[in-house]
Amino acid sequence: GYWIAQQDVARGNQPWYYYFVITPVYEFLPLLFGIIAAVYYTRRKDTFGRFLAYWVVATFVLYTVASEKMPWLLVNISLPLIVITGKFLGETIPRIEWRKGAPAAWLSLLVGVPLAIIILWRLALFGVGDDADSGLLLLVGLLTIMFLLVAGGVFMAIRVGRGNFVAFATIPVFLLLMALSIRTGLTASFRNGDTPLEMLVYTQTSPDVTQLMRDIAKAGADSGEEQALSITIDQTSGFTWPWAWYLRDYTRVNYPSYSGSTLEQAPDSPVVVVHSNNQAKVDDTLSPIYGDAELIKHRWWFPESTYRDVTVVKLLKGAVDRKAWRSVMDYWLYREGVADRIGSENAYLYVLPDFPRASNADD
């Protein structure tokens, strides 16, 4: 009921092609095999397969049409893709006629297919970005290896049959994409867990908040006040949250709003957090007591400018621009290219000169 009610709000205000962008970033494995499977079952008289193909297409279309588009809704889009992928692979791999090829031949194909994909990627982006200074010798080497792999693949397809070859080739492609999927999941969950380098991070409380919380806990312990330490948080723009949770056991927390007139009197608190929009109104009163304020990020988000305002003309230009492809691949593989464009809503921290910092506890 809640999600239906949010359609009029259009929370997020994402472009219609939002899921066309985010799905290949995280669910590339089921997306690739799901599309192949949907086409395959649509052309065959497989009732359940056609139903799954309908489920895939209908789900993607409905969530694309829906006005509220959020990264966590990708789960709903991925589910039918995963199911149809499972059915497709579960029917394709058992049909391989292993006796038509020697074990060494199958093993060479298992290694050769991912190697061919990697070399093809290197050739497509050769001389762009980090490869700008690559020499002719490397290019010749890559082309030679690619030629040998293609020739070997053609020979293998003739020996074992085209159907057998294609069916087996799904295994190394699946394994390669599975390895990349595991890497993507670990990177998003642990390496970039609270840093909005990931499109999955819509809006995230910054690590500055939890670091300040550790400083507050240390200040309370050092002063002997513990959870009776006085703290003042400017509530402008919903800055009460997540402090209301982190400071739930503290008994002297104030949440005034400094968005009005100039501050006349400083609060009786060793810690004052002020929304960046209000810093100019309070600085003359607070800085003589607390000193210079420290800028901290309260919440931050993925830079949506990287994918908004895409037009057909921009898309066509990007399709033939190898530098654009290099930028896409750098983000897809390494999450590079967005760190300096992360958006944030900031606060200014005022603390007394003798305020202890947990980060300096071991100094």
Model confidence over 63-102: pLDDT tens digits? 999 888 999 999 999 999 999 999 999 999 999 998 888 8
**Are 211 and 76 members of one domain?**
no
**Are 281 and 312 members of one domain?**
no
**Are 220 and 331 members of one domain?**
no
**Are 297 and 280 members of one domain?**
yes
Evaluate whether residue 310 is within a structural domain. Answer: yes
**Are 5 and 62 members of one domain?**
yes
How confident is the model over 268-277, as a mean pLDDT? Answer: 94
Q: What is the pLDDT of residue 133?
A: 57
Evaluate whether residue 9 is within a structural domain. Answer: yes
Model confidence over 135-184: pLDDT tens digits? 778 888 889 999 999 999 999 999 889 899 999 999 999 999 999 999 99
**Are 308 and 259 members of one domain?**
no
**Are 266 and 332 members of one domain?**
no
Evaluate whether residue 122 is within a structural domain. Answer: no
**Are 297 and 311 members of one domain?**
no
Evaluate whether residue 167 is within a structural domain. Answer: no
Q: What is the pLDDT of residue 362?
A: 46
How confident is the model over 2-25, as a mean pLDDT? Answer: 84
Evaluate whether residue 113 is within a structural domain. Answer: no
Q: Please tell me the total count of domains within the chain.
A: 3
**Are 213 and 332 members of one domain?**
no
**Are 1 and 90 members of one domain?**
yes
How confident is the model over 255-283, as a mean pLDDT? Answer: 90
**Are 209 and 232 members of one domain?**
yes
Residue 363: pLDDT band by 50, 70, 90 thresholds? very low
Of 60, 95, 130, which closes a domain? Answer: 95
User: Does residue 233 carry a pLDDT above 90?
Assistant: yes
Of 36, 69, 95, which closes a domain? Answer: 95
Q: What is the pLDDT of residue 129?
A: 61
Evaluate whether residue 25 is within a structural domain. Answer: yes
Q: What is the 3-state secondary structure (H, E, C) of the chain?
A: CHHHHCCCCCCCCCCCCHHHHHHHHHCHHHHHHHHHHHHHHHHCCCHHHHHHHHHHHHHHHHHHHCCCCCHHHHHHHHHHHHHHHHHHHHHHHHHCCHHHCCHHHHHHHHHHHHHHHHHHHHHHCCCCHHHCCCCHHHHHHHHHHHHHHHHHHHHHHHHHCHHHHHHHHHHHHHHHHHHHHHHHHHHHHHHCCCCCCCCCCCCEECHHHHHHHHHHHHHHHHHCCHHHCCEEECCHHHCHHHHHHHCCCCCCEECCCCCCCCCCCCCCCCEEEEEHHHHHHHHHHHHHHHCCCEEEEEEEECCHHHCCCCCHHHHHHHHCCHHHHHHHHHHHHHCCCCHHHCEEEEEEEEECCCCCCHHHCCC
Evaluate whether residue 106 is within a structural domain. Answer: no
Model confidence over 212-232: pLDDT tens digits? 999 999 999 998 999 999 999
For 310, the domain range is: 304-337
User: Does residue 358 carry a pLDDT above 90?
Assistant: no
Of 49, 74, 95, which closes a domain? Answer: 95
Evaluate whether residue 125 is within a structural domain. Answer: no
**Are 256 and 277 members of one domain?**
yes
